[in-house]
A = this chain, B = another copy of it.
Amino acid sequence: MSTRACGRAVDEIRPVTITSNYTRHAEGSVLVEFGHTKVLCTASVEKGVPRFLRGKGQGWVTAEYGMLPRSTHSRMHREAAKGKQGGRTMEIQRLIGRSLRAAMDLNKLGEYTITVDCDVIQADGGTRTAAITGACVALAHAISWMQEQGMIKTNPLKTLVAAISVGMVDGLAVSDLEYTEDSTAETDMNVVMTAEGHMIEVQGTAEAAPFTHEQLLAMLALARKSIDELVAHQRQAIGPAIS
């Protein structure tokens, strides 16, 4: 049978919750949960753009990512105390930023910078995909706030983006790996797609064994289905403001 050790079907994602307005100060604030994985995503709007964009009349969207030291099974060192962000952190926050920018028409944003902070409160696999999925909702909320304030006239959000991790575990293609699967997967692949099912990022890594073309196709099909479900959750959290 194709059931996994975790009890889910191969194409079954964990329960997803997106709680808007989780904190008070940010222009957009979302707690996103994929099962036990919990990420707080806040979108902050600031006037001005980075130096390399000044005077071009367009805006910028960027992201930062962090894990609370005891979001994980054993405590990790705090990156602020170590004095630098690790390679994994930088890789993930670059990925989140690129994914969000792919959903935006930065010319319509005007000379504003939106910084989306994704902080992992609790980790159980898939923090980067939960982060992208939640960050897009926080971004949408921040944009609604900007529209209410009259800071922008047209909606710069072209589409929604969501992300899922898929992989080969015990020879099976499965969706939304939780920690115990993630740490034993033969292959791990993160896929970011638009609401229309077009691809923004595909990052597949052979952990224990190379993967074949057929396995790639199987994983991509799962990703497509799961992302459709995630987008439905996003639409519900955002409401009719952006449709």
**A residues touching B (Cβ–Cβ < 8 Å)?**
23-26, 29, 36, 38, 40, 42, 44, 46, 64, 66, 68-75, 78-91, 93-94, 98, 102, 115, 117, 119, 121-123, 189, 193-194, 196, 198-206, 210-213, 216, 220
Cβ contact of A66, chosen from B80, B94, B194, cutoff 8 A: B80
Query: Closest chain B residue to A25 by CB distance?
Result: B73
How many copies the complex holds: the figure is: 6
Q: Is the CB of B70 within 8 A of A23?
A: yes
Known: A64-B69, A94-B87. A201 touches B198 (CB 8 A): no
- What 4 additional pairs, Cβ within 8 angstroms, besides A25-B123, A64-B78? A23-B121, A66-B80, A80-B84, A201-B203
Cβ contact of A40, chosen from B121, B206, B216, cutoff 8 A: B121
Measured in the bound complex, the distance between the Cα atoms of B201 and A206 in whole Å is 6
Q: Name the 10 nearest CB pairs between A and B, nearest first.
A: A198-B210, A87-B90, A79-B80, A42-B70, A44-B75, A202-B204, A80-B80, A26-B70, A69-B117, A200-B206
